[in-house]
A and B are shown apart, each in its own frame.
Chain A
Amino acid sequence: MVKITALDKKVLRDLGSMWAQALAIAMVIGAGVAMFVMSEGMLKSLLDTRAAYYERYGFAQVFAPLKRAPNSLSSRLEEVPGVRFVETRIKKSVSLDMPGLDEPAQGRVISYPIDPPRLNRLHLVEGRWFQGGRTDEVLVSEAFAKAYDLKPGGEVTVIMNGRREVLHVVGIVLSAEYVYTIPPGGLVPDNRRFGVLWLTRPALEAAFDMEGAFNDTLLALDPGAEVEDVKANVDRVLDTYGGIGSYSRERQFSNWFLTGEMNQLRNMSKIVPPIFLAIAAFLLNIVITRWIQTEREEIGLLKAFGYSTRAVGAHYLKLVLTITVVGIVLGFAGGIWLGRGLAVMYQEFFNFPFLYFRFAPHVFLIAGGVSLVAALVGTWSAVRRAAFLPPAEAMMPPPPTSYNRSRFERFFKSMSTPSRMVMRHIVRWPWRSLLTVLGNALAVAVLIGSMFFFGAIDTMIDIQFNRIERQDATLSFIETRTQKALEGIEVMPGVLKAEPFRAVTAKLRIGPAERRESIIGVFNGGEFSNIVDADFRPVDIPKDGLVLSKKLAEILGAGVGDTVLAQVTEGRRPLLELAVVQISETVLASPAFMDLEALNRLMQETGRMDGAYVRLDADKTSAFYKAVKNTPAIAGVAMKDATKKSFRDTMSENLLVMTTFNVLFAVVIAVGVVYNAARISLSERERELASLRVLGFTLGEVSYILLGELALLTVFALPLGCGLGYGLAWTWALSLDTDLYRIPLEVTHDTYGFAILVVLAAALVSGLLTFRRLGQLDMVMALKTRE
């Protein structure tokens, strides 16, 4: 049996007597560890789950849409080197007439075989697969089904090719292809206004005149096949069949968004939690160092008894390790629990059919290791310093701390004696004062760094939806139409103003950089150009040349004056040389713009449009929706308010959840740090303050000396913390700068205010707790005992 030595008992007793402080330290380290473990675990789980999902359901590696080709072409595609197998299908845009929704919802209908295909297999959540022979059965994506509470046995009204058809829901499904169901032209999921439906092939052949033909291709590749070569060869085969240009899985819409989201989560978990962990470790180090310094006499005593420096060091290490290990265990447990919770939440958000919940062992090693090292280093250096004193000296009353008249002395002259004590104490221990300030400042900073998100997202929404997008709704046609269609839109009820636009898909290239993007042709002299300058002020579209969004310019490495090669993948497929004439600021996506007429001229399709931006009379929206529903040529309408709402909802569900956790952890860290600083200051000065009480100082006067210093240091910490917090926000904003969207670096006053308030509140509560302890100071002890 292991013998419990007297020193070990001392460890336990000491822990018992300082439990509140020990807990506060453990909480700081626990918060740092938990956050690290949580985000790493969640991220790994999501990435592994996605990989497994794609694997298990045969998610295609290359997608090749086209206008129309006979089914026999499939064998020619299979002969393309590197292609393992091919699935062909019919995929069309439709309108959906949904109960309770004034405007038509947009739909995607896709053919699905009776026997499971080799690629893009669906996951049946509820109901059954198709049964042979019937063409009025439909499988509905789960997200859309949930939005309308659709169940097997229910019905959906689909306007296919201008004809209304009522389809019977037989199954609710999930698809790896629509993990993220984003309406065409949209940026975020809107499950009420966009749904994906799978029908039997005969049904779609009949509805769209596609007997014996297909318009979409899925390909799986041989291992090691060169994706770019395969794509080029596939494009060559499909060229004469109206191929729009094949794209790899990386560019597949849902996967692209998913990757973007996951990259953001990854950046979030790669940058912020390590910073938190480092801050927690740093604070742990400060707290431990200072605390051990107050143990000077005990260390002297132990050495006097004949304990070696090593034994004394080991004793304190045990004490610190116990606290740290408790913190780490709390952090592991909390991190696993929260990570799991978050992963489940994201699983639902991403519509994954299952979740692999996993942690990489290195996550625990890093989090635990960093915390332990910080604690050990702090302990060891402080113990060493104390242990170097000859025992007799350590047990003597410490010589009065040597104070000198510092260069700041003249500023203290006019102060009262207690104030002078406060100031001299701060100046006498500049390093410690600085660390206290830094500790509190970091508490402010982690709060700002995590809080800034809430305000930044509002700013982003304001920029995108109030300053960049000035139209109320965007109408898109099923097919390109002449500008006569604009007249039809202008006379629709509720329409106050309408401007045409075109969207032409092209591969934009400059040097080695390439990007598939829609070139949006906008109406010259109109109001809805969606082009803005660096200050987000509207700018008219130049008559010639290409306007790149800032992000696209970054991706392509292009600037004003450069020439971009644009391989258009529709119409007569011209290869265009376009001069970049302007860069437009953007927060969402990475569009490119041209003057509508110039674009049509280059396409040799004068007077064509793909849709219109409209301003609406707010009182007549339902009449407008009704009219849209009755216009078969309109594929869909995107209402800005609805988009704005779904965008905000998406952000809330996605990033803000994680942010909320960050804020919670930041609060824990802030409170832990401030409380410890107050608590340690008290033990360092207990005797001095008790002496003053004996001399007749009131509790208030004594508190002023201790708490005044803490308050002053806290006040110093606030501006520094705001600065550091801004830096943290900057790092974070930078890490979230993706193709999808950019978080504007704008820290609101609310954020600063909140962070300051939390730290002030923590300081106040700590002050009150300390004040209570000051009231219990043992004056008699002060007469007798040394520190």
Chain B
Amino acid sequence: MSETKVTIEARGLSKVYHTGDVDVTALAGVDLDLRQGELVVLLGPSGSGKSTLLNILGGLDRPSTGHVMFADQDLTELDDADLTLYRRDHVGFVFQFYNLVASLTARENVELVTEIAANPMSADEALELVGLGKRLNHFPAELSGGEQQRVAIARAIAKRPGILMCDEPTGALDSKTGGLVLDAIARTNRELGTTTAVITHNAVIADMADRVVIIGDGRIQEVRENAYKKDPGSLSW
């Protein structure tokens, strides 16, 4: 897969947080390419810097040094308004705590994004993809945790993002429900060819990836390619 086009390219990323008198280095010189259509798991313990990396790649934060290239554009040079546009048009986010809008139904939560996206699929289609075609009109409070997270995935992919960022998507779920969610992520990655980055501290999840990037102390410690991708449904923790 190494010849495939690169979706996003990070070079020399470092991030230092100044909190009071102490400087905390979250990232220290990270180079990373995410290739078109691959599913990458960023694995590392908490505090390893994986979330910081994801935030920078997703246009939520800026590195202290280094560059991030997306479609010939350096994200580090964009202002807030352009970063908003970048997120709006190219990035799908899935959060640990789903972050659905409680006052909107599953379909409307997805529509929230499709209404502002350039070339979205229909909300129904997106929900069908994550296996929720029958729960379109339910409010978040009427859905289980796993179902809520799948709505969040549908919301993230409905815009046909260039890249899907999932931050501990199963962190708040049990193994069985988590499996369903990971299945939905794997399926959209497979069927839509969306470049997908999943960050997790759960090593088991790494088995579903094309590539596993292990992060520790703000650096990439190891990159390994899985010769064989496991079916997410078979994973358990």
The residues of A with any CB-CB pair to B shorter than 8 Å are 397, 399-404, 416-418, 420-421, 424-425, 428, 687-688, 691-699, 701, 779-780, 782-784, 786
Contacts and interface: CB of A to CB of B under 8 A. Distances in A.
A695 B155 contact: yes
Contacts of A421: 101, 103-104
Nearest to B137: A405
A784 B103 contact: no
A692 B156 CA distance: 11
A780 B57 CA distance: 12
Contacts of B84: 693, 696-699
Given A402-B102, A784-B167, 4 more contacts: A402-B141, A691-B101, A694-B87, A695-B87
13 contacts: A397-B97, A400-B140, A400-B148, A401-B102, A403-B102, A417-B108, A692-B101, A693-B84, A694-B99, A695-B88, A696-B88, A783-B51, A784-B167
Contacts, number: 98
B141 A696 contact: no
Contacts of A786: 97
Contacts of B116: 696-697, 701
Contact of A420 (B61, B85, B87, B104): B104
Residue among A401, A417, A701 with max Cβ neighbours from chain B (10 Å): A417
Residue among B88, B93, B101, B148 with max Cβ neighbours from chain A (10 Å): B101
Nearest to A782: B99
A417 B111 CA distance: 7
A293 to B, nearest CB: 15
Contacts of A692: 101, 112
A403 B103 contact: yes
B94 to A, nearest CB: 10
B64 to A, nearest CB: 15
Given A417-B115, A424-B103, A784-B51, A399 B87 contact: no
Contact of B139 (A404, A416, A420, A694): A404
Contact of A401 (B85, B115, B141): B141
A137 B38 CA distance: 113
B105 to A, nearest CB: 8
The secondary-structure label for the interface of chain A is helix
B141 A403 contact: yes
Contacts of B111: 417
Given A397-B172, A417-B112, A695-B88, A428 B103 contact: yes
Interface in B88-131: 88-89, 91, 93, 95-97, 99-104, 108, 111-113, 115-116
B99 to A, nearest CB: 4
B71 interface: no
A428 B139 CA distance: 12
B177 interface: no
Contacts of B22: none
B104 A696 contact: no
Contacts of B85: 696
A355 B140 CA distance: 68
Contacts of A695: 87-88, 93, 112-113, 155
B81 A784 contact: no
A780 B89 CA distance: 19
Nearest to A702: B84
Contacts of B81: 698
A82 B112 CA distance: 89
A343 B127 CA distance: 72
Contacts of B7: none
Residue among B81, B84, B113 with max Cβ neighbours from chain A (10 Å): B84
Interface in B179-230: none
A149 B148 CA distance: 85
B91 A696 contact: yes
A780 B104 CA distance: 23
A779 B167 CA distance: 13
B147 to A, nearest CB: 11
Contacts of A694: 58, 60, 87, 93, 95, 99
A570 B148 CA distance: 95
B76 interface: no
A688 B101 contact: yes
Nearest to B61: A780
B124 to A, nearest CB: 15
B55 interface: yes
Contacts of B96: 783-784
Contacts of A400: 100, 102, 139-141, 148
Contacts of B102: 400-403, 688
A550 B171 CA distance: 79
A487 to B, nearest CB: 86
Nearest to A694: B93
Contacts of B112: 417-418, 692, 695
Given A416-B115, A417-B108, A783-B95, A401 B87 contact: no
A784 B89 CA distance: 23
Given A417-B108, A417-B111, A696-B88, A691 B99 contact: yes
A783 B103 contact: no
A425 B167 CA distance: 28
